[in-house]
Amino acid sequence: MSLIKLYDTTLRDGTQGEDVSFLVADKIRIAQKLDELGVHYIEGGWPGSNPKDIAFFKDIKKVSLKQAKIAAFGSTRRAKTTPAKDNNIQTLIQAEPDVVTIFGKTWDFHVHEALRISLEENLELIHDSLVYLKENVAEVIYDAEHFFDGYKANPEYALKTLQAAQQAGVDCIVLCDTNGGTMPYEIPAILAEVKKVVSTDLGIHTHNDSECAVANSLMAVDHGIVHVQGTINGFGERCGNANLCSILPALSLKMGKECVSGEQLRNLRQISRYIYELANLVPNKHQAYVGNSAFAHKGGVHVSAIQRHPETYEHIRPELVGNLTRVLVSDLSGRSNILAKAEQFNINLDSKDPVTMEILEDLKEMENKGFQFEGAEASFELMMRRALGNLRHFFSVIGFRVIDTKRHEDEMPLSEATVQVKVGGHIEHTAAEGAGPVNALDNALRKALEKFYPNIKEMRLLDYKVRVLPAGKGTASVTRVLIESGDKNSRWGTVGVSDNIIAASYQALIDALLYKLIQDQEAKAS
């Protein structure tokens, strides 16, 4: 079984995507994570294009990687100059990467319109550049830009460009679907023609403009491609690149191809989310394999079935990619959903217990009012505990007040919250300021409670989302607030709903604090 080489271009092609940007330090950290994942090549950037990429190639030399090779990206030489005098080629060599990858024109339309040279001159650009690089760099990869469009327009010339690269002794020729318009059914016939004239190892680089990037990559592998390029989470220009988070498990688990180890594959979800975090983007919960919803079950029939046999509604075991089965609770839930969540929370609940149906009815009523527990499982656990009567009374809030004051036209408003809480027989009255009314209320609640529960200091509010529910009431509409909190051990979500945004936020904040105290209490007891 031949090894499929994985070539990640998140740090170069991925950063061309809208809203995606990384600092040099971020790129170094991502490279280390990709190495842990088992990626064979990491394309660090185009050192001739910007100072940030030059800095990356300098700094990455100080990092010890286990297996990945660092690749620098660039283009063939310019017309009317030699590789030895071409600044782009020289910059690639001076970056001292393990591998150099350059692209060249394959489509005759681009040769005429973009380069404005003859077809024969373009073949010379490709051949000369690659021969020179092979004399100065250990490994050279050639990206045949726009290959599939070029082949469809002029197959004879497109194949000549590949032959020019092969004659230069390049290590791998990568066929690029740069505009992302190729269909999976077109791949086999085109590859068959390529193999008639090219014996060099072949790779694939696809874009997702037709939502076929992953399918095209897998089809190419099935027809003999041994090198696959892509990005983590499918980051990339326009609609993105081929998503390695889908390609890796498909190769390993579906196609039986050797690429990464089972242990490395179990890091996939964690690395996917890590890179979302550094890009300051919200993870796509519906992403295949690694998304929060990839193995989430909501319909009662589905939940009942997966409890008996997970494969009834799961195409792989989620643990293989570092994910897990989730049972969602909503107005579509059945008794099996409630029992599954109780088991997850270590709550003893019997299917015949009237409380089970009471929880189900409460759930449906609350969701009808606008509550949503799919992203707020901590609030749902608290609801179950209240119904069962086993929720400890840690504190009560006697009252609170939040004031926003704007003293001068050119200054930001100042927010201050005052709270009164009762713990046991003691009443604590305190105030705090914050960046906005919700932050002020959060600070005041913590300040009041930390005296009694010091471990609250460990807790952080990680995310705050507000959604105005469609009620047609304008500024008087019902608001749902979802809060994600966390400490050094875990993260949890809570929810609040009200036609007053402060009241909705207060509900979610109180649940978040309660959940933290319960978790710590149970950890201490065990």
The average pLDDT across 2-23 equals 94
Listed in sequence order, the residues at least 6 apart from 478 whose beta carbon sits closer than 8 Å to its beta carbon are 369, 370, 468, 469, 471, 497, 498, 499
Q: What is the rounded distance in angstroms from the CA atom of residue 330 to the CA atom of residue 300?
A: 10
Higher pLDDT, 277 or 63: 63
Residue 276 lies in a domain: no
502 vs 282, more confident: 502
> Residue 337 has what pLDDT?
63
Measured distance CA(227)–CA(254) in Å, rounded: 17
DSSP secondary structure letters along 445-461 = HHHHHTTT-GGGGG-EE
In CATH, what number is assigned to the domain containing residue 448? 3.30.160
For residue 253, the cross-strand partners are none
**Domain containing residue 247: CATH number:** 3.20.20.70
Look up the domain containing 402 and give its range: 395-452
- Reported confidence tier of residue 216, pLDDT bands at 50, 70, 90: very high
Give CA–CA dist 343/337, Å, rounded: 10
Within 10 A of 394 (CB to CB), how many other CB atoms are there? 17
- Give the list of residues 6+ apart from residue 81 with CB closer than 8 angstroms, or none: none
**Residue scoring higher pLDDT (344 or 235):** 235
Judge whether 46 lies within some domain.
yes
At 297, the pLDDT band (50, 70, 90 cuts) reads: confident
Please report the pLDDT score of residue 331 as a whole number: 47
More confident residue, 298 or 458: 458
- Give the least confident one: 54-68, 217-231, 341-355, 414-428: 341-355
Rounded to 5°, angle at Cα 487 from 484 and 388: 70
pLDDT digits (tens, 9 = 90+) for 454-487: 999 999 888 888 878 765 555 557 888 989 888 8
- The Cα 129–Cα 347 span in angstroms is 67
Alpha helices per DSSP H over 236-334: 244-249, 262-265, 268-278, 300-308
Tally the domains of the chain: 2
Structure confidence at residue 344 (pLDDT) = 62
Is residue 415 included in any domain, yes or no? yes
* Average pLDDT value for residue range 335-348: 65
Q: What is the mean pLDDT of the chain?
A: 89
Whether 335 maps to a domain, the answer reads: no
- Name 481's Cβ contacts closer than 8 Å, sequence gap at least 6: 464, 465, 466, 495, 496, 497, 501, 504, 505, 507, 508
User: How confident is the model over 128-157, as pLDDT tens digits?
Assistant: 999 999 999 999 999 999 999 999 999 999
Q: What was the pLDDT predicted at 469? A: 76
Last residue of a domain, one of 243, 260, 277: 260
**Per DSSP, which regions of 411-524 are E strands?**
414-423, 426-434, 460-468, 479-486, 491-498
Rounded percentage of the chain residues whose pLDDT exceeds 90: 64
Q: Is the pLDDT of residue 427 over 70?
A: yes
Mean pLDDT of 492-496: 90
The pLDDT score that the predictor gives to residue 475 is 52
40 in a structural domain = yes
Which SS3 state, helix, strand or coil, does residue 496 take?
strand
Domain boundary among 452, 480, 500: 452
pLDDT at residue 168 is higher than 70: yes
181 in any annotated domain = yes
Choosing from 230, 260, 290, the residue where a domain stops is: 260
Check pLDDT > 60 for residue 300. no
Order across the sheet with 491-498: list the strands. Answer: 460-468, 479-486, 491-498
Give the β-pairing of 227-230 and 296-297: unpaired
Q: 462 by DSSP, 3-state: which? A: strand
Q: Which of 78-87, 98-107, 108-117, 383-392 has the lowest mean pLDDT?
A: 383-392
Residue 357 lies in a domain: no
pLDDT at 135: 96
Torsion of CA 438, 370, 381, 392, to 10 degrees: 60
Tell whether the model's pLDDT for residue 329 goes beyond 70: no
* Residue 333 belongs to some domain of the structure: no
